Structure 1
C-alpha cells in the first residue's frame, strides 16, 4: 500500500493533449486521481514509428485510462457523468472545437457548478493568435528564450526538448490548484485560461522577472544580438572533457586567485566584483584554462570543493544515466513506463514526507480502466475537500486572493526563493521575508547601492520584510514564535543549514504540528552530491542540459559551443514546482491534520525535463527527430523564425504555401533549403503569420522588449506597470499567472526594503513591548530598515494590501 499523498481524493479528468498532459502527470504524482480520457482506439500520439511513444508515456504515467467517443451521444452522456463527479477538468481543445463539441468551460460548469476547468492551449482562448498552433520550438522563439540562446553573430540555438514543455505544465498546475483553493472557499467553480505562450514569457526565465547573480555583470541595455554570455559561467577543457565554474562571491574569487598562484595582474581589489572579472575574461580565462588542462573533471571538482570554489563536470546524457547520486536519491529509477516497456526513467520532481512523489504506475493501456474506474459520489468529494478546506480557507468577501489567511515565513534567497514566495504573495498570502542584513540576499545587489533593483522588485512584490538574525539565540526564539502561527516555512539554503540553526522540520513540528516546510537546494539533502555548492549553471552542467544546449555547428571540444550562459534555468521553474507541492500539502493537511516536509532538488527539475532524451538513451536510442523543423533566417538584421513541420501533412501545406507541388517528394534537406529560401525573403512576423494561416506551427523570434508590444500579449493585458519608490521609473511586470473567471489579478504592492516591516511585525505578531523591541534593535537581533542614502525620485504608489491578522 502506497504512502498517503497530499492530493489523495482529488479527481481530475484529463482531456488535454500534447504538452498539456504533463500538468496532469505532476498532479497525479502528488496523489490526485487523474483519469485520462481518450477516443476509441486511443490517443494517436501514443505511438511513434510503430513503438510506444516515450514522451506520451512519461506524460501519462500514474493516470487511469478510459475511452469515450465524444462524437456519439452515449459518449457525451458518459463524459457528463464523469464531470459531475470530478473536481477538475484539464482540457486543451481549440475554442472552436470546444464549442462544437459542447465542451466549452461554460458547458462543463453547467453540468457541475463546483468544477475547476483549466484550459491549456498554445495561445489562450482570446487574442489575435488564439487559433494559432504551437510546439516547443515555437514557444521557445516567441517566449523570449531563443533570443538569448546562442553565440553573438550566429544562428540562435533551440534549448533541449522538454524544458519549455514542463514550464507550461507546472505553470498550469499552479494555476489549477490556486483555482481549486478558491473553490474550497466559495463552493463555486472557476475557469482557468492558461496560454502556453504566456507561461513561457512569464515562467521560464522572464525578461521582466527576478534574475540571477550574473545580472550584476551585464550591460544595462539588452543587446540586439545574442548576449556575450560565455564569460558568465565559463567552461574549460580538461583531461577528460569539460568543467564549468561559477565565481560569484568575493570569497570564491579570492580562492580562485590563490589557486592560480596569485597573478599580479589580478591582484587589484576591483577584481573582487563580478562585473570587473567579466570585462577581463579575455585575460583571466586563459590562465584558468592552462591550470585546468591536464587535470580530470573529478580532480577539479574535488579541488574546487576543498577551496570552496563552485566547479562541476559537464556530463553527457549517458553519464547522467549512470551517475550514482541520481540512482541513490531515486531521481532515476528502473521501472515499467508503459505496458512491456521497462527502462531507466526520471521518477518525479519532489519528495513529500520523506518519500518520492513520482512514478508509481505505468501509463495506462487504451481503455484499461473502462470497467474498473472507481465510483465517486459528489458528496464523498465534498466531505474530503470542501468542508475540510473551509477551516483553512474561510470565505474571502473582500476578494484579497484565494490564499488570504495563509502565512509564509520566507527564508528563501536569490531566484528560487524569490519566485516561490512571490507566487504565494500574489495570491493573497502574508509572505514575510525573513532576512539578515549582515548576510543580504544576493538578489538585492544593485549598481546604485539603493537596496532595490528591478529584479528584486519583481521577485518580492507583495511581501513584507522582517530583519532578524537567526544565528542569535534571541533571534531564533522570535522566529519560533512566528512559526507557531504560520502555515509554511520556506528555505533554499545549503542542506543542513536549517538543522544547524535548530530549525529543522522536526524542530518546527514540535512548535506547530501543522507546519509545512519547503526545503529546496541544488542537489537535494540526500546522496553523495548533497554537500556540493549549488548554482543553476552547475546543475545544468551536471544533469546533461549544457551538453544538449550547444551550437551543433561547432566541435564538441570547443568550450564556446555551450549556449546556456544567459539563462538562470531551472530557478524559476524550481520555485513553481516547490510552490505546487507545498500548496498541495496545505490542501492535504486539512484532511490529515498534519504538516509535512517538501524537499526539492533543482537537479531533479532538469532530470524530469530531459525525460524523453534520457529514457531514449537508456534504451540505446536517440530521441526521434522526425520531419522538418528549426530556426530559419528572415529579412532584416538578425531576424529569425521557427518553423515546425514535423507532421507529414505540414510538408504538404508548405508545398501549397510555396507553390511547389513536388516538395512532399523531395528530401528533407531540400525541404529545409526551400523553407530557408522562402523565410529569407519575408519578415519573421509575416512568415509566421502566413504559415500559421496554412496550419503550420511557426513563430517569430521575439526579443524581450518586443514582448511588451506584441499584439497578442497586449490584447490579453499580459503585462502591467509596477511602480516602486526606490526605482527611478515604473517597470513592466507580469499581470497574472492565468486568466481566471473570478480570481482577481495580483496587487502590486512594492517589494520591501530590508527590514521594512520589522517594527510592524514585532508589534502585531510577536507582541513585543517597545522596550524589548528597542533593546533587540540595539543588539542587532532585530533590524529595522536603514535609511537609504541614495536619493531617487519617488513614483506614485498604490495602497498596500492590509497585512493578515494572526490566525
Structure 2
C-alpha cells in the first residue's frame, strides 16, 4: 500500500511511534490524522509480556480509535539487528515518540543524545508518568494514580463521597495533547535552527496543569479547592437541577446571565433578593437558591427548559448517556463520529479530530493496522531486500 496521507498539513513528515497504551498513541494520532507518515513499531507477538495492555484486541474500538492512519512494523529492539534497523529508520525520520521509563532509553541506546548523533534534525518526544528525572522518575505511572497525586480526585465527587476518579483518562489524554503541541513547536523552531530537540511531557505535570484555576486560586488566594459535587466551586447558580423528567445542567454564571435567568423563569423579584445580589452571595447561599430553582424547574421538562433558557442566552443542556450523545443533532452535524474499514472490510467507527483547519483538515483515511501489517513494505523502503527480510523474520528480529 502507499503511504497513508490523511491530510496535507503534515505531509512529508515521518514519525516513528514506539509508544503504548494511551498518552503516546493520543499524541501520535493527532500527527497521523493531519497527514504525517506514522510507523507504529512494536515487538513481534510474544516478546513483550505486557502486550495485552496495548495490542490485545486490535479490532476493538479503543485500539482502532487510537491507532488509525498508521502503518505497522514489528521490530524486536532487544536484538542487536532490531536496534540497527531502528537506527536506520531514524536517519530519515523527523520525530520519534516513546513512553518508556527514562532508564530504558539509555539502556537501549535510543536516548536523545544517541538519536541526535544519527540524525541532528530528529525530535524525540518522551512521555512519562512523573518526568525524565527527579525522585519519582523511575516509578511506573498510570492515569488513575496521577489523578490522585495531581489533585483531581480530591476535587471530584460530593463532600460525603471521598475522592473519586474522573470517568475518562484525563491525565493520559491531556499529556498526549501537550506532547503533540510540544512536537509542533519543536518542528517550527527547527525551521529556523535546523536542529531537532528533546520534548518531554509527564502525566503528573499535565494533570496539575489541567487543574488550572483550582490550583491557581489556592496558590494566590489560599483558597483550598474542595469537593462540591455538581456545583461550580466559584459560580452560582451553576450545576445540576431536577426538571420534571430528568436532570438539567445549568450554567448561569455572571450577573447578566443571572438577571436573564430570573426573568426567563418568571422570578424577576429574585434579582433584588439580598442573599442573591451578587455571585459571591449566591455561592454563599447556594443551598437555598438551588432548592428554589429545583421547585421552578420541576414544573416542566428538560427539553422545555433547554429550549427556553438557551433562547434567552442562559447556557444549559441535558445530561446525555453515551448512546444519547452520539445521536445528538449537533454531534452528527460536526462529524464527531466517522466510519472507516479495516483491511478485511470490517466497519469501524472512530472519533474524529476536534480541531478543524479550513484548507488542510484532518481525516480518517484508514483503520488501525494489523500487527506488523506493513513490515515488509517499510523495510523495503529502508533498503532491505526480500532475502534479508525473510532472514530477520526467521531470526525473530521482526
TM-score of the superposed pair, with normalisation by structure 2: 0.88
Tell me the CA shift for residue 530 of structure 1. Answer: 1.0
In 2 relative to 1, CA 726–679 (structure 1 residues): closer, same or farther, beyond 3 Å? farther
Give the 5 Å matches for 1:628-643: 628-636=237-245, 639-643=246-250
SS, match of residue 740 in structure 1: coil
Alignment pair present for 1:781 and 2:388: no
Matched, 1:620 2:231: no
User: Would the aligned equivalents of 2:156 and 2:166 in 1 still touch at CA under 8 Å?
Assistant: no
Name the counterpart of 1:673.
Answer: 291
1:427 aligned onto 2:38: no
Aligned: 1:688 with 2:302? no
The 8 Å contact of residues 629 and 643 in structure 1, kept in 2 or not, is answered as yes
1:648-667 residue pairs with structure 2 within 5 A? 648-666=255-273, 667=275
Q: How far apart, CA to CA, are the structure 2 residues paired with 1:740 and 1:465?
A: 27
Unaligned 5+ runs, structure 2: 226-232, 276-284
* Maintained 8 Å contact 1:721/1:731: yes
Cα deviation for residue 613 of structure 1 reads 2.0
1:609 is paired with a residue whose SS is helix
Structure 2 SS opposite 1:575:
helix
Cα distance in structure 1, aligned partners of 2:142 and 2:18? 17
SS at 1:720 equivalent: strand
Separation of aligned partners in 2, 1:643 and 1:708: 21
Q: Is residue 723 of structure 1 aligned with residue 341 of structure 2? A: yes
Contact 1:517 1:597 in 2 (8 A): yes
Q: Cα 1:681–1:418, aligned 2, differ >3 Å: closer, same or farther? A: farther
**Match for 2:65 among 446, 454, 458?**
458
Paired with 2:62 and 2:344, the residues of 1 have a C-alpha distance of 13
Partner of 2:384 in structure 1?
A: 768
Please say if residues 153 and 166 of structure 2, whose CA atoms lie closer than 8 Å, have aligned partners that are also in contact: no
Per-residue deviation, 1:399: 8.6
Q: CA deviation at 1:533?
A: 1.4
Q: Deviations over 1:684-728 (max 9, x none)?
A: 33322221111112121122222222111222333222222568x
Contact 2:248 2:302 survives alignment (8 Å): yes
DSSP-derived class of the 2:102 partner: coil
User: Within the alignment, does 1:706 sit opposite 2:315 as a pair?
Assistant: no
Residue 594 (structure 1) aligned to one of 195, 211, 233: 195
Structure 1 residue 601: deviation in Å? 0.9
Find the aligned partners of 1:552 and 1:399 in 2 and give their Cα distance. Answer: 47
1:413/1:441 contact within 8 Å kept: no
Residue 442, structure 1, aligned to residue 44, structure 2: no
**Which residue of the partner structure matches residue 170 of structure 2?**
569
Answering whether residue 383 of structure 2 is matched by residue 746 of structure 1, we say no
Matches within 5 A, 1:333-412: 400-412=7-19
Report if the CA contact (8 A) 1:663-1:671 is conserved. Answer: no
> Structure 1: any 5+ residue segments left out of the alignment?
1-397, 555-560, 783-807
1 CA distance for matches of 2:159 and 2:310? 28
Match of 1:165 in 2: none
- Counterpart of 2:129 in structure 1 is 522
Instruction: Give the structure 2 partner of residue 536 of structure 1.
Output: 143
Distance 1:627 1:420 in 2: 36
Classify the secondary structure of the residue corresponding to 1:625: coil
The secondary structure found in structure 1 opposite 2:238 is: strand
The aligned residue for residue 238 of structure 1 is none
- Aligned-partner Cα distance in 2 for 1:441–1:404: 32
- Greater relative contact order: 1 or 2 (C-alpha under 8 angstroms, separation 6 or more)? 2
Taking the aligned partners of 2:6 and 2:27, their CA distance within structure 1 comes to 22
Q: How many residues align?
A: 371
* Closer/same/farther in 2, CA of residues 553 and 676 from structure 1, 3 Å limit: farther
Asked whether the equivalents of residues 435 and 441 of structure 1 are also in contact (C-alpha less than 8 Å), the reply is no
**Secondary structure in 1 aligned to 2:268?**
coil
TM-score, scaled relative to structure 1: 0.44
SS of the residue corresponding to residue 733 of structure 1 reads: strand
Cα distance, 1:526–1:585 mapped onto 2, change above 3 Å:
same
1:471 to partner: Cα distance: 0.9
- Note the aligned Cα RMSD (angstroms): 2.0
SS at match of 1:414: coil
Pairing 1:125-164 to 2, within 5 Å after superposition:
none
SS in 2 for 1:752: coil
Give distance in 1, aligned partners of 2:6 and 2:55: 31
Residues 265-294 of structure 1 show CA distances to partners (whole Å, capped at 9, x for unaligned) of xxxxxxxxxxxxxxxxxxxxxxxxxxxxxx
Residue aligned with 1:599, SS: strand
Q: Which moved more, 1:505-514 or 1:655-664?
A: 655-664
